Structure 1
Amino acid sequence: MKLLVYGAGVNGSLLAVRLHEAGHDVSLLARGERLSALRHHGVQLAEGNSPTVRQVPVPAVEHPDDRYDLITVLVRTHQVDVVLESLAGVRGDVLFLLAWAAGAQPLGAAIGSERLLLGFPAYGGTMDGDVVRYRPPSRTTRLTPMPIGEPDGRTTPRLEGIVREFRTAGINAKSQPQMDAWLKTHAAVTVPLGQAVHAAGGPRALADNPDAIRHMIRLIRQNLATMPTPLVPRGFGALRAIPDALLVPVLRRFLRSPTAEHSGLSNASPAETAELERLAEQLRTHVTAR
C-alpha cells in the first residue's frame, strides 16, 4: 500500500514506523525543523526514559503526492482546517486518527464524504526534542485497540482491509461501528479532565484538590447528559451514577499514578491548550444544537 502519515508527532511517528517496517510504501509528512530532523536522522525512538535511541529511516515529505491508497491524519484538533485545505486535491481515502467532536459532516464537506473514515490513536508518549519517547507496552496498552470506523457505522470492505493491514503491521486496530459517538463521548470526558489538570498545574496538583475534582466531575456529567449520541463505550454512563464519595478517591489515585503522568495530561503546551479549547467549542455547538 502507498500510505501518507500526515503529522509527525508521537502518534504519527509511531504509526509510520510500524507501517514502514511492515513493508508498506510510507511517507511521513512534517514541516519546518521537524522535517529537517526526520530527513537527517529518520524517526528516532526510545522506550520510556531509556538512553537507547533507535533510528528508523521513514521517508519524510513536506507536501503530499497526488494519490495514495490511504492517508492517515494525526494532528491536533485545531490544526484540521489546514490539513483539509492541503488534501482537497489529493486522491485517496482519508482516515482521521485524532480527537474530534464535531461529527463527520465538516470533514466530508471539505474532502468528500466517500473518502472519509474516523478513528483514534492508541499510542502514547512524549517528544523529547526530536526523539519520540513512547510508553513501554503494558497489559492495558496491549489490550486497548485502536478504534476505526465508517462515519455511517457500516462494516465495509475498505474498513476491514485497513484493520487487517494495521494488524499485520502489529497495530492493534479494531472496527468500531459507532465511531462518531465514541469520539464525542471521549471528548465529553477528556476536555473537563484536561482543563482541570492544566488549571491545577498538573495531575498530582489536581489530586490534592478534591473540590476541583468534584467540579470537574460535575462538568463531565453535564457533558454526558447532553450528548447528541449514545455513550460509547456504555461504561462511561457509570460516571453519571457513581457517588462523589466513591468517584473522587478513585480519580485521586489515578491522577497520582504513573499512567496519568505518561498519558499526556502533564502537557500544558500552547498546542494542548488550543486543542482542548477547540474540542470544548465543538461540544458546546452540539449542546446548543439539541
Structure 2
Amino acid sequence: MKICIYGAGAIGGLLGVRLAKAGEEVTLIARGPHLEAMRKNGVTLHSGGETFVAHPHCTDDPEAVGVQDFVIVTLKAHSLPPIVSQMRPLLGEGTAVVNAMNGVPWWYFYKLSGPWQDKRVASVDPDGCIWETIGPERAIGCVVYPACTVIAPGVIAHEYGDRFLLGEPDGSRSERCLTLSTALGKAGFKAPVRTEIRNEIWVKLWGNLSFNPISALTGATLEEIATSPDTQPVVRRMMGEAQAIAERLGVTFAIDLDKRIAGAAAVGPHKTSMLQDLEAGRTLEIDALVGAVQELGRLVDVPTPAIDTVLGLVRQRARLAGCLG
C-alpha cells in the first residue's frame, strides 16, 4: 500500500514516522530546511519519553512519486488551493484523499442529503479548484486530535493525543476507510471509522472556531481562555452560535458545551496552533476555522454576532502582523 503525506510538518511527520515504522511504503512531501533535514537525517520523533527515527522517502516533487493508494493532506487549509494542481500526479482512479486538516472541509456538502447537497464552501475552496482537481468522490474525512510541534528541521515533538477519526462523506463503512483504519492502528493510533463524520468534525471545530482566534487576540493558553471570566463567556456565545448552525445542518452533538469547554481546560497551558502561527509570523488559519462557520450561518439563516465580532478582530490582528493570507 502506497501512502503519501502531503505537507509533512508536525502532524505529517508524526504519521510518517509511525507508518514507516509499521512497515508501510510512505512518502513525505515537504519543502525548505525541514525537507532537507529529513532527507539527510531521517525524521526524528520525540513521543512519550522515547525517540524514534524513520527514513521514509522525502521529496518536494509529486511527479517523482506517482499514483498513490492514499494521499493524507496535512497542510493548513488555506495552503491547499494554491498547490492543489501539483497533486495531480498522485491521483489515480482508486486514490483516496484524506482531509487531515482542521475546520470545515472543502467536501462538506458532498452527498449530504438536503437542499445544499454538493454545494461548495467558498471560504475554503474559493474558486472550486479543490473540488474540481481532487474530486469529492476521493475524499475521506478525518478529525485530527494529536498535538505536535516541529521543534527543529526534521524533528517532531509529539505532545499528546493518538486519535484520527475517519469517515466517508456518505456515511458508509467503506473498504478503503477500514483499510486505512487498520494501517493507522498498526502504527499505534486509534482510528475508528465513524458513520457520522460531520458530527465529529463539529465537536473539534466547536473548540477551534473559538479558542484559536481568542488565543491569537489575547495570547492566552487553552486553560486560561476556558477558565477566565473574561474570555469564557465569549467562547460560550461563539460555540452556541456554531451549535445552532450545525444542528440546522443535521448535526448531533454527543457532548454538551460545558463538557467541551472543560475538555479544553484540561489540556492545560497549551498554545493553540493559531497563536503559535502568529508568534512565528505564519499565515493564520482563519477562514477554515471561523470564516467558514460564518458562511454556513448565512446559508442556514442563523445569526452569528459573536462569531462576526471575533472574526473581524482576528482578521485585523493578522493583517497588522502580516499574517493574513
Q: Would the TM-score normalized by the shorter structure come out above 0.5?
A: yes
* Alpha-carbon contact 1:187-1:279 (below 8 Å) kept: yes
Structure 2, unmatched stretches of 5+, are 111-119, 121-129, 301-325
The CA distance in 1 between the partners of 2:135 and 2:70, in whole Å, is 14
Structure 2 matches for 1:180-219, cutoff 5 A?
180-203=198-221, 205-206=224-225, 209-219=228-238
2:89 equivalent to 1:95: no
Task: Confirm whether residue 135 of structure 1 aligns to residue 159 of structure 2.
Answer: yes
User: 1:18 & 1:229 partners in 2: Cα distance?
Assistant: 36
Structure 1 residues 42 and 30 mapped into 2: Cα distance closer, same or farther (>3 Å)? same
1:182 Cα shift? 2.3
**Distance verdict in 2 for CA 1:151–1:207, change over 3 Å:** closer
1:109 corresponds in structure 2 to: 132
The answer (yes or no) to whether the contact 1:181–1:229 under 8 Å persists in 2 is: no
Q: CA deviation at 1:102?
A: 4.3
* 8 Å CA contact retained: 1:188, 1:283: no
- Contact 1:18/1:169 (8 A) holds in 2: yes
* Structure 1 match to 2:23: 23
State the percentage of identical aligned residues.
21
Q: Which amino acid aligns with 1:30?
A: A
Judged with a 3 Å threshold, the aligned counterparts in structure 2 of structure 1 residues 282 and 40 are, in CA distance, closer, same or farther, namely same
Q: 2:175 aligns with which of 157, 161, 166?
A: 157
Are 1:125 and 1:262, in contact at CA under 8 Å, matched by a contact in 2?
no
Q: 1:232 to 1:111 in 2, by over 3 A?
A: same
SS in 2 for 1:147: strand
- Deviations 1:161-200 (CA, angstroms, capped at 9, x unpaired): 1112221222211101111332234223321111122222
What is the CA–CA distance in structure 2 between the aligned matches of 1:87 and 1:99, rounded to whole Å?
Answer: 20
Equivalent residue for 2:185? 167
CA 1:254–1:283: 2 relative to 1, 3 Å: closer
Corresponding position of 1:40: 40
Structure 1 residue 288: Cα displacement: 0.9
Distance 1:159 1:55 in 2: 27
Cα pair distance change 1:287/1:272, threshold 3 Å:
farther
Secondary structure of the residue aligned to 1:269 is: helix
Structure 2 residue aligned with 1:56: 54
Aligned 8 A contact 1:124 1:264 in 2? no
Corresponding residue for residue 295 of structure 2: 285
Any gaps of 5 or more consecutive residues in structure 1?
none
Residue in structure 2 matching 1:225, options 215, 231, 244: 244
Displacement of 1:26:
0.6
Deviates more, 1:2-11 or 1:177-186: 177-186
Bigger mean CA deviation after superposition, 86-95 or 172-181: 86-95
Q: Compute the TM-score of the two structures, normalised by the length of structure 2.
A: 0.74
Q: Deviations over 1:8-33 (max 9, x none)?
A: 21110011111111111111110111
Counterpart contact for 1:120–1:148, Cα < 8 Å = yes
CA distance in 1, matches of 2:284, 2:274: 15
C-alpha change, 1:118 and 1:24, in structure 2 (3 Å) is: same
Looking at structure 2, the residues matched to 59 and 93 of structure 1 have their Cα atoms a distance apart, in angstroms, of: 20
Q: Which amino acid aligns with 1:281?
A: G
State the distance in 2 between where 1:254 and 1:163 align. 26
CA distance in 2, matches of 1:233, 1:21: 36
| Aligned residue type for 2:158 | Y
**Distance change (3 Å), C-alpha of 1:129 and 1:29:** same
Contact 1:94 1:115 in 2 (8 A): yes
- Offset from partner CA, 1:53-110 (integer Å, 9 cap, x none): 5432222111222201111111112112134222234322211111131451454433
Q: Cα 1:43–1:31, aligned 2, differ >3 Å: closer, same or farther?
A: same
1:9 and 1:127 in contact (8 A); partners too: yes
How far is 1:273 from its partner? Answer: 6.1
Shift of the alpha carbon at 1:267?
3.6
CA contact (8 A) 2:274 2:285 kept: no
